[in-house]
C-alpha cells in the first residue's frame, strides 16, 4: 500500500465476512459466552439474560400464558446469543491468520553462539534476550532480534503477506528481524531481544484473536454510560407496578421485562465488543499491527501529524536534473568534475549525476590513479583525489557550507554568486549540491525529489478533518518551504535533528494536542515513545518497534495517513451505531406501552400509532425486531461505517441524519411488518 489511495484498507486485503469453519466456531462460542464471568463484562446483555431466566420462571410458575411466555423467553435468549455471536464473529475473523502465525514459529531450532564462539543447537523457546544466534540461507530466524553481523534478504510473507523479499543489514535502521521469517541469502548473526512468549508474533497472535484485548478508554466510558442508562430504565420499569396500582391497573411482569429489554440499549450493548475487535482487525487489514485498541482509537483523535519528507511526502529518490555553472566556468568543466566525483558514489544521487553527465555528452573515462572519498556525515562531502602528470586534482561535492570551508582550506573563497545559485535551486524545491576543484567553486548540481502524486489532496482531506500536518526534513529552509508549498502541508521543520522531533512533539502536547509520527531508526525511538501514536517501520530497528505503539508491516512511511483514517473510522462506527441504537428505542416505546396500559386506560390508545394487531403481538414484534437488528448490523460493525473526510460538525450532522433518523424510522416499519406476519400466522 502506498498510503495514497482513497481507502485506508487496500483492496487486496478485503475478504469474506466469515467462512464456514469460522461461522461454526462463532456459533459455538456464542453459547460458551453465556457464562456469568463473560456476561458480567456487558451489563446490558447481563440484564437481558437475567430477564430471560425470570421470564422462564414466570412461565414455569403458570403466571403467564405458556405460548406467550415461552415465546418471550425464547426471543430474549436469542437476543443474548446474537450479542455473543457478534463478538464471536469478530474474534473468529482473526483466527485464520493467527493459525498461520503459529505455524510460522513452531518447532524452530536455533544455532546459539556460546561464550567461546562454539555453536549449540537449542529450541527457539529456550532463547533469552542477549543470546546471539547464527542464521544462514534457507533457515528460519528463531526469535525477534537485531542483526549484529552481516546482511541478508529475508522472506517476511508469513507476517506481512508480501511475497517480495526484503533486505536487512547490521548497523543500519533496517536491522530488525522477526522470529519465524526465513533467510533467503547469505549468513547473519542475530542478537535476541524478546523474551519467550513476548515476541512480535506472540503479541500479534493475541491481538488478532482478541484473547487479550483490553477495552479502550472510549469503550470503557461508553460501557459505563450504557450501564447507567440500563440502571435508570430498570428503576423506571420497577416503579411502573406502583404507578399502575395507583390508577387501578395491574401490570403484567412479563410485559415489564419485555419493556425493559426493548428500552435498554441492547443493540449497541451487543455490538460494542465486536466494534472494538473489528477496529484492530481493520488496522491489521491495512498491514498495521496495533499493540492495543487504544492506539487505533487515539489515531482517530490525532490533531497533528509529523511526517518525514523523504519517502512519505516525496519518493525519496533524488535525481540530478541540471548543472548550474558559476560565471566564468564552462558547463563542460562542471559536468565532468561532477561526474568524476560521482563515479564511485553508490547512492541514487551519485548514480543520477553520472547518468545525467553521460546523457549530456560527457565521455570522460575513469582516471587510472584516483582515490575516492566516501560521503561522511562529519564532513558532509564526498569526492575524488586524482594524481596526474599535470598535478593532483581534488574534486569535492557536498553541502554549500561544507564546500565553502573546503575551498577556504585550499586558500580560496566561495564567490558571492554561489549563495544566489544555491537559493535559486532551493526555492524551486530542489536540493543544491555544490562542486569544487581545489580552491575554486565550479557550480551547483540540482537534485530534484518528486512529490508523490495525490499527496496534496490527502493533506487537504486531513485538514478538513481538523488534522494539521508538519513536514520534517533535513533540507535547508528554502528547499523545505518549496516542498511544503507544493505538497500542501501546514507547517515544516527544516534542518531537523532527531531531538527537534521530540521537542516539537512535546510542544504540541503541552498545547493540548494529540500527535502522531512515523520513524524507523534507534534515534527515532524517544520521539516514537513520546508521541500519542508512534508508527514504527517493520524494517526498522527493534528499539523503534518497541517504542512505537503501532508497527507498519509494509514499512511504508505514508501509511500514517491511512492509520488516521482507520482510527477515525473506528470512532465514527461506534458513534453511528450508538446513535442508531438509542434512536430505535422510540418505536419500541410506541409498540409496548399501549400493550401495557391501553386496555385499562383507553386514553393511551393514541400511542398505538402503528395500529398493531394485538397487545401480545405488539410485544412479540418489538422483541423480535430488537433481537434481529443485532445480527443485521454485524457486517456494518465489522467493516465499519464508510469514511468520508469531514469536520466533526459535518460528521455529527451526517450521523444524526442517517443513523438517528434511520434509527427512528426503521423500527416502525420493521415492527409493523413483523406484526403483520404474526397476525397472519396466528390467523392461519
Give the DSSP per-residue string, 79-113: HHHHHHHHHHHHHHTTHHHHHHHHHHHTT-EEEEE
Of 252, 308, 449, 552, which is the active-site residue? 308
500 is known to lie in a ligand binding site: no
Q: Is the CB of residue 269 less than 8 Å from the CB of residue 44?
A: yes
**Taking all residues of the chain, what is their mean pLDDT, rounded to a whole number?**
82
Give the pLDDT confidence of 12-70 residue by residue, as tens digits.
344 455 567 778 888 898 899 898 888 888 888 999 999 999 999 999 988 888 888 99
Active site residue 490: no
578 is known to lie in a ligand binding site: no
381 is known to lie in a ligand binding site: yes
202 is known to lie in a ligand binding site: no
Give strand pairing partners of 136.
187
Q: What are the Cα distances from residue 637, in Å, to 143, 249, 550, 655?
A: 35, 42, 22, 15
pLDDT at 160: 62
pLDDT > 90 fraction of the chain, expressed in percent and rounded:
19
pLDDT at 418: 93
Which residue blocks in 161-314 are alpha helix, DSSP H?
200-209, 217-246, 253-263, 266-285, 293-299
Give the pLDDT confidence of 150-184 residue by residue, as tens digits.
988 888 776 665 556 778 888 776 788 888 788 98
Picking from 25-34, 240-249, 593-602, which range would have the lowest pLDDT averaged per residue?
A: 593-602
CA distance 480 to 474: 8
358 is known to lie in a ligand binding site: no
pLDDT at position 338 over 90: yes
Burial 425-444, CB ≥16 within 10 A → b, else e: bbebbbbbbbbbbbebbbbb
What is the band of 211 on the pLDDT scale with cuts at 50, 70, 90? very low
Q: Domains plus CATH for the chain?
A: 109-196 (2.70.150.10), 208-283+565-682 (no CATH), 297-313+452-553 (3.40.50.1000), 319-448 (3.40.1110.10)
Residue found by looking up cell 493475541 in the block? 206
174 is known to lie in a ligand binding site: no
Picking from 200-204, 431-435, 456-460, which range would have the lowest pLDDT averaged per residue?
A: 200-204
Give the pLDDT confidence of 136-149 residue by residue, as tens digits.
988 888 888 889 99
294 is known to lie in a ligand binding site: no
pLDDT at position 209 over 70: no
Instruction: Average the pLDDT over 529-544 and give the result.
Output: 81
252 is known to lie in a ligand binding site: no
pLDDT at 13: 41
Report the predicted TM-score, pTM, of the whole model to 2 decimal places.
0.64
323 is known to lie in a ligand binding site: no
452 is known to lie in a ligand binding site: no
Amino acid at each position: 500500500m502506498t498510503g495514497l489511495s482513497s481507502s485506508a484498507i487496500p483492496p487486496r486485503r478485503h475478504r469474506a465476512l466469515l467462512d464456514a469453519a469460522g461461522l461454526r466456531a462463532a456459533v459455538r462460542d456464542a453459547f460458551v459466552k453465556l457464562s456469568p464471568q463473560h456476561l458480567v463484562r456487558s451489563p446490558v446483555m447481563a440484564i437481558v439474560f437475567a430477564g430471560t431466566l425470570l421470564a422462564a420462571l414466570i412461565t414455569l410458575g403458570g403466571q403467564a400464558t405458556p405460548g406467550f411466555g415461552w415465546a418471550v423467553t425464547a426471543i430474549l435468549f436469542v437476543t443474548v446469543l446474537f450479542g455473543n455471536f457478534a463478538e464471536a464473529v469478530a474474534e473468529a475473523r482473526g483466527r485464520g491468520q493467527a493459525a498461520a502465525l503459529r505455524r510460522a514459529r513452531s518447532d524452530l531450532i536455533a544455532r546459539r553462539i556460546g561464550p567461546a564462539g562454539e555453536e549449540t543447537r537449542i529450541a527457539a523457546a529456550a532463547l533469552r534476550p542477549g543470546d546471539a544466534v547464527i542464521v544462514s540461507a534457507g533457515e528460519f530466524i528463531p526469535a525477534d532480534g537485531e542483526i549484529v553481523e552481516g546482511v541478508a534478504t529475508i522472506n517476511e510473507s508469513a507476517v506481512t503477506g508480501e511475497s517480495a523479499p526484503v533486505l536487512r543489514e547490521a548497523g543500519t535502521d533496517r536491522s530488525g528481524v522477526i522470529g519465524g521469517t526465513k533467510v533467503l541469502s547469505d549468513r547473519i548473526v542475530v542478537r535476541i531481544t524478546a523474551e519467550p512468549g513476548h515476541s512480535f508474533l506472540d503479541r500479534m497472535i493475541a491481538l488478532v484473536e482478541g484473547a487479550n484485548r483490553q477495552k479502550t478508554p472510549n469503550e470503557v466510558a461508553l460501557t459505563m454510560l450504557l450501564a447507567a442508562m440500563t440502571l435508570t430504565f430498570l428503576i423506571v420499569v420497577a416503579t411502573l407496578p406502583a404507578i399502575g396500582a395507583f390508577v387501578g391497573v395491574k401490570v403484567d411482569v412479563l410485559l415489564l421485562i419485555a419493556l425493559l429489554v426493548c428500552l435498554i440499549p441492547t443493540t449497541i450493548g451487543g455490538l460494542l465488543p465486536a466494534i472494538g475487535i473489528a477496529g484492530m482487525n481493520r488496522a491489521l487489514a491495512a498491514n498495521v499491527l496495533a499493540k492495543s485498541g487504544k492506539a487505533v482509537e487515539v489515531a482517530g483523535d490525532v490533531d497533528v501529524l509529523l511526517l518525514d519528507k523523504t519517502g512519505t511526502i516525496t519518493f525519496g529518490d533524488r535525481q540530478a536534473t541540471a548543472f548550474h555553472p558559476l560565471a566564468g566556468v564552462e558547463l563542460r568543466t562542471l559536468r565532468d568534475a561532477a561526474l568524476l566525483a560521482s563515479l564511485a558514489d553508490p547512492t541514487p544521487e551519485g548514480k543520477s549525476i553520472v547518468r545525467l553527465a553521460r546523457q549530456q555528452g560527457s565521455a570522460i573515462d575513469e582516471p587510472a590513479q584516483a582515490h575516492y572519498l566516501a560521503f561522511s556525515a562529519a564532513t558532509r562531502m564526498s569526492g575524488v583525489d586524482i594524481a596526474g602528470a599535470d598535478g593532483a586534482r581534488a574534486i569535492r561535492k557536498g553541502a554549500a557550507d561544507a564546500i565553502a570551508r573546503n575551498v577556504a582550506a585550499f586558500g580560496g573563497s566561495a564567490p558571492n554568486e554561489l549563495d544566489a545559485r544555491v537559493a535559486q535551486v532551493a526555492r524551486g524545491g530542489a536540493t543544491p549540491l555544490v562542486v569544487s576543484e581545489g580552491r575554486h567553486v565550479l557550480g551547483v548540481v540540482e537534485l530534484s525529489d518528486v512529490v508523490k502524486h495525490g499527496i496534496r489532496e490527502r493533506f487537504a482531506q486531513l485538514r478538513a478533518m481538523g488534522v494539521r500536518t508538519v513536514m520534517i526534513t533535513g533540507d535547508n529552509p528554502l528547499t523545505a518551504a518549496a516542498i511544503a508549498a507544493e505538497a500542501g502541508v501546514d507547517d515544516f521543520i527544516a534542518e531537523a535533528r532527531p531531538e527537534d522531533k521530540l521537542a516539537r512533539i512535546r510542544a504540541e502536547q503541552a498545547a493540548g494536542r494529540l500527535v502522531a509520527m512515523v520513524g524507523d531508526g534507534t534515534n527515532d525511538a524517544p520521539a516514537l515513545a513520546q508521541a500519542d501514536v508512534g508508527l514504527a517501520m517493520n524494517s526498522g530497528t527493534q528499539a523503534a518497534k518497541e517504542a512505537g505503539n503501532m508497527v507498519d508491516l509494509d514499512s511504508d512511511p505514508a501509511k500514517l495517513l491511512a492509520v488516521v483514517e482507520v482510527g477515525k473510522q473506528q470512532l465514527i462506527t461506534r458513534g453511528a451505531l450508538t446513535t442508531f441504537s438509542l434512536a430505535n428505542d422510540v418505536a419500541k416505546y410506541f409498540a409496548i406501552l399501549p400493550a401495557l396500559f391501553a386496555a385499562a386506560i383507553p386514553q393511551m390508545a393514541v400511542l398505538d400509532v402503528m395500529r398493531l394487531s394485538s397487545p401480545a403481538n405488539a410485544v412479540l414484534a418489538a422483541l423480535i425486531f430488537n433481537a434481529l437488528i443485532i445480527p443485521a448490523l454485524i457486517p456494518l460493525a465489522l467493516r465499519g461505517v464508510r469514511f468520508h473526510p469531514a469536520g466533526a460538525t459535518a460528521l455529527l450532522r451526517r450521523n444524526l441524519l442517517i443513523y438517528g433518523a434511520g434509527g427512528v424510522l426503521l423500527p416502525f416499519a420493521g415492527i409493523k411488518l413483523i406484526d403483520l406476519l404474526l397476525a397472519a400466522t396466528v390467523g392461519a
